[in-house]
Amino acid sequence: MTALTRLFAAVSLFGLEMQVATWLSLATIRTLTVLNVAIAAASVIWTYSKRRTSPEAVAPGPPPSVIYILSVGVLVLVVLTLNLARPVLAADPYHLDRMTQIERLGTLAYDLAAEPKVNSFSWAYELVLADIHQIPYVGGVLLRLHGLFGIAIYLLALSAARTWLLVNRGWLLVALLVVPVVFHQFVLIKNDLFGAVPAVAVLAWLIGRSADAKPREIAWAAWLCGFAVAVKVTSAPLALVLAGALLVQRADRAAVIRAGVAGGLAGLLCGGFFFTLIENARVYGSPMTAFKESGGMGNRNESLGQAAVSVVRFGISLFDLGRYTREAWPGRGGWGSTFGLPLIWAFAVLVRYRRRPEVRRTWWIAVIYMVVFAAIYTDADIAHRLVLGPGLLLILVAVSVSDGEDRLARMSRAALCAVIALSALQIARSATLYLWS
Q: Who has greater pLDDT, 327 or 206? A: 206
Phi and psi for 377 in degrees, rounded to 5?
-100, 120
The DSSP line for 352-405 is: HTTTSHHHHHHHHHHHHHHHHHHHHBTTGGG-GGGGHHHHHHHHHHHHHHTTSS
Bridge partners of 90, per DSSP, are 189
Element (H, E) at 43: helix 32-53
- pLDDT value of position 51: 56
Among 116-120, 230-234, 303-307, name the one with the lowest average pLDDT. 116-120
Residue 212 and residue 401 in contact, taking contact as beta carbons nearer than 8 Å:
no
Closest CA to 15 of 97, 143, 102, 78: 102
Bridge partners of 300, per DSSP, are 377
- pLDDT value of position 163: 85
- pLDDT value of position 292: 58
- pLDDT value of position 120: 85
Closest CA to 100 of 144, 139, 133: 133
pLDDT digits 0-9 by tens, 17-48: 999 999 999 899 988 888 888 888 887 787 66
pLDDT digits 0-9 by tens, 125-146: 999 999 999 998 999 999 999 9
pLDDT of residue 122 exceeding 80: yes
d(CA 295, CA 333): 12
Cβ-Cβ contacts under 8 Å for 59 (sequence gap 6 or more): none
- Cα 352 from chain centre: 28
pLDDT of residue 57 exceeding 50: no
d(CA 183, CA 185): 5
Among 105-109, 276-280, 290-294, name the one with the lowest average pLDDT. 290-294
Phi and psi for 90 in degrees, rounded to 5?
-105, 145
Stated length of the chain: 437
pLDDT digits 0-9 by tens, 69-95: 999 999 999 999 999 999 999 988 899
Average of per-residue pLDDT across 340-369: 96
- Report CA torsion sign: 118, 120, 125, 130: positive
- pLDDT value of position 322: 84
Q: Read off the pLDDT band of 50 (50, 70, 90).
A: low
pLDDT of residue 281 exceeding 70: yes
Residue 238 and residue 228 in contact, taking contact as beta carbons nearer than 8 Å:
yes
Q: Which residues of 234-262 are buried (b: 16+ CB within 10 A; e: fewer)?
A: bbebbbebbbebbeeebeeeeebeebbeb
**Three-class DSSP labels, 51-116:** HHHCCCCCCCCCCCCHHHHHHHHHHHHHHHHHHHHCCCCECCCHHHHHHHHHHHHCCCCCCCCCCH
Closest CA to 122 of 255, 258, 242, 235: 235
Average of per-residue pLDDT across 300-323: 92
% of residues, the chain, pLDDT over 90: 71
- pLDDT value of position 404: 87
- pLDDT value of position 294: 47
Average of per-residue pLDDT across 220-243: 95
Average of per-residue pLDDT across 224-234: 95
- pLDDT value of position 333: 65
Average of per-residue pLDDT across 91-115: 92
Phi and psi for 222 in degrees, rounded to 5?
-65, -35
Q: Read off the pLDDT band of 53 (50, 70, 90).
A: very low
Cβ-Cβ contacts under 8 Å for 332 (sequence gap 6 or more): 378, 379, 382
Element (H, E) at 37: helix 32-53
pLDDT of residue 49 exceeding 90: no
pTM: 0.92
Burial of 385 (0-12, 13-18, 19+ CB in 10 A): buried
The top-scoring range by mean pLDDT among 25-34, 159-168, 356-365 is 356-365
The DSSP line for 150-197 is: HHHHHHHHHHHHHHHS--SSGGGGGGGG--HHHHGGGTSB-SHHHHHH
Q: What is the average pLDDT score of the chain? A: 90
Q: Angle at CA 411, nearest 5°, toward 410 and 412?
A: 90
- Residue 310, by phi and psi: left (phi above 0), alpha (psi -120 to 50) or beta? alpha
- pLDDT value of position 290: 54
d(CA 73, CA 75): 5
d(CA 359, CA 47): 37
Bridge partners of 377, per DSSP, are 300
- Cα 133 from chain centre: 21
Residue 343 and residue 268 in contact, taking contact as beta carbons nearer than 8 Å:
no
**Three-class DSSP labels, 272-322:** CHHHHHHHHHHHHCCCCHHHHHCCCCCCECCCHHHHHHHHHHHHHHCCCCC
Average of per-residue pLDDT across 227-246: 95
